[in-house]
Amino acid sequence: MAVEPNALADTHAASVAPAGHAPLAARAATPWWRGAVIYQIYPRSFLDSDGNGVGDLPGILARMDYIASLGVDAIWIAPFFKSPMADFGYDIADYHAVDPLFGTLEDFDRLLAAAHARGLRVMIDQVLSHTSVEHAWFRESRESRDNARADWYVWADARADGTPPNNWLSIFGGPAWTWEPRRRQYYLHNFLDAQPDLNFHNEAVRAAALDNVRFWLERGVDGVRLDAINFCFHDKLLRDNPAKPASERSGRGFSADNPYAFQYHWYNNTQPENLAFLEQLRALLDGYPGTAALGEIASEDSLATMAEYTQPGRLHMGYSFELLTEEFSARHVRATVGTLEAGLREGWPCWAISNHDVARVATRWGGAQPGAAQIAQMSALALCLRGSVCVYQGEELGLPEAEVPFAALRDPYGIAFWPNFKGRDGCRTPMPWDASAKAGFTSGTPWLPVPPAHRALAVAAQERDARSPLQRFRAFVAWRKRQPALRGGAIRLLDLPEPLLGFVRGSGGDEILALFNLDADPQSVVLPAGAWQTLVHAGPDAGRIEAYTAHLPAFGVLFARGD
């Protein structure tokens, strides 16, 4: 269903406020982002307001009441900036402009005001490490070796035989270098060749990047999600990355046919100079009280990098891909959380089990046909770990990964590696609002097809079912908000046998025991020492306590408070 932009403007006129950063009416003593639930919106696929088949900012505005009804604390909006869309917005041509595909700056201001009126914070993506080849900076830089921005990107001479300067590889396949005949040099791109890397060793580049962030802080955003933030700096000596043995090539989310997995990426990202830049960025944010930075981190040891990047004076939060992989077991979750907690010290994590770059968690962890109980448990698990949590649109509905035929693929990553790896389109299909042919997403032709299985899980249908994944999600988020131990307490992991995962959250007089049965068969386990009283919770299927033993149903959860 298309939404008339003018009607939207009239509907929300009372919510519109002047641009500029202003705190929400009521701010708690604890920073809002600590323990927050952040709802990620991929704007291309949320709601189309003008019938062109692509979601937009007015579409997000039209569904602001739905977002608020989830009980989340904030929204994170993926890139909506001016872009040729080689990587669907992560190749930015103008950091200060909204791409006409998504609307206007005025649309963004209305969206921001409407969110704030409902008590929602707004975070936006910032892609600092690279731009589009269409950015004015790169168009100037590529022209010659002596122009004003000649050193704003990573340029290097060819080796004597004409090949690239080193062996660095692009995540999207092949060399990370592309030849530019005008300069007779190669430029670096860790992603697509349409995404040249900026040279952060240049002070002017760092200042320009901070100015781009400042532009949006001045408009009133409450935070920034920093895409690939550990990729800002490269090794100035351009040293070759060492080879990685075949036994170590899996586990970081790369398919076996991607040569990127064949190297230790020690020199093309995660350089020590980045720490000083993060401190500059934090100083900027500290000038806008109530704002926060969330860094996406993908390094050879992402958990160690998270701990380093979230130390005091750097990023407020960090998240990595350890719970975005195919592996799912109590052992894996316990090891991931335990490793991070051991090194994190004063930092604050943010967990995600789905996003716009990986297969949806309902399929990745749940298998072919996960039921409502299993889906509810997966969300509850993420929401109970120490830290904040990002929830990807449609995760609350239990949407499975979509099967997108090759002819309909749009993701250059998937097109390059098809058929072994089908890319990211399967998690980016339109949000299903109703059961109609186009799922209430658009009146035109959707940019990606809507799978029939998603229409059956549409918001309209789940609103009517008290035990649907949507209603369970809402209920659990509301219950979690009333549990300070789950929002901000410490975590102590329990050593339990598979398929049981358990931990204690909180400290002192407020401790909550959380137990999860990750199996389709009921499980029982003796409770840890202490006097535990069952807590009645909402959402996932509940276990019970009898004679110092916890009994959990299939994909069940038990919460208990210690006396």
Digitized pLDDT (tens) for each residue of the chain, 563 residues in all: 344 333 333 333 333 333 333 345 444 579 999 999 999 999 999 999 999 999 999 999 999 999 999 999 999 999 999 999 999 999 999 999 999 999 999 999 999 999 999 999 999 999 999 999 999 999 999 999 999 999 999 999 999 999 999 999 999 999 999 999 999 999 999 999 999 999 999 999 999 999 999 999 999 999 999 999 999 999 999 999 999 998 888 766 677 788 999 999 999 999 999 999 999 999 999 999 999 999 999 999 999 999 999 999 999 999 988 999 988 999 999 999 999 999 998 899 999 999 999 999 999 999 888 999 999 999 999 999 999 999 999 999 999 999 999 999 999 999 998 988 889 999 999 999 999 999 999 999 999 999 999 999 999 999 999 999 999 999 999 999 999 999 999 999 999 999 999 999 998 789 999 999 999 999 999 999 888 999 999 999 999 999 899 999 999 999 999 87
Q: Cβ distance 421 to 412 under 8 Å?
A: no
Q: Cβ distance 147 to 155 under 8 Å?
A: no
* Residues that are catalytic: 227, 296
Residue 69 phi/psi, 5-degree rounding, is -65, -20
Predicted TM-score (pTM) of the model is 0.94
Question: How many whole angstroms separate alpha carbon 60 and alpha carbon 435?
Answer: 19
Question: How many whole angstroms separate alpha carbon 533 and alpha carbon 344?
Answer: 31
Residue type, 373: A
Neighbours of 392 (CB within 10 A): 24
- Residue that is written with structure tokens 């380093």 in the block: 308
Residues 6+ apart with CB under 8 A from 17: 113, 116, 117
Question: How many whole angstroms separate alpha carbon 430 and alpha carbon 44?
Answer: 8
Q: Which residues pair with 175 in a beta bridge?
A: 169
Q: Cβ distance 90 to 227 under 8 Å?
A: yes
CATH of the structural domain 5-131+203-255+266-481, one choice from 3.90.420.10, 3.20.20.80, 3.30.1330.80, 3.30.43.10: 3.20.20.80
Question: How many whole angstroms separate alpha carbon 380 and alpha carbon 315?
Answer: 26
Q: Residue ranges of the domains in the chain?
A: 5-131+203-255+266-481, 132-199+256-265, 490-562
Preceding amide of 419 cis, omega within 30: yes
Question: What is the CATH code of the structural domain delimited by 490-562?
Answer: 2.60.40.1180
Consecutive H or E run containing 239: none
Tokens of 102: 């998504």
Tell me if residue 514 falls in helix, strand or coil. Answer: strand
Kindly calculate the radius of gyration of the chain based on its CA atoms and give it in whole angstroms.
23
Question: How many whole angstroms separate alpha carbon 226 and alpha carbon 248?
Answer: 28
Question: What is the CATH code of the structural domain delimited by 132-199+256-265?
Answer: 3.90.400.10
Q: Is 508 left (phi over 0), alpha (psi -120 to 50) or beta?
A: left
Q: Which residues pair with 122 in a beta bridge?
A: 75
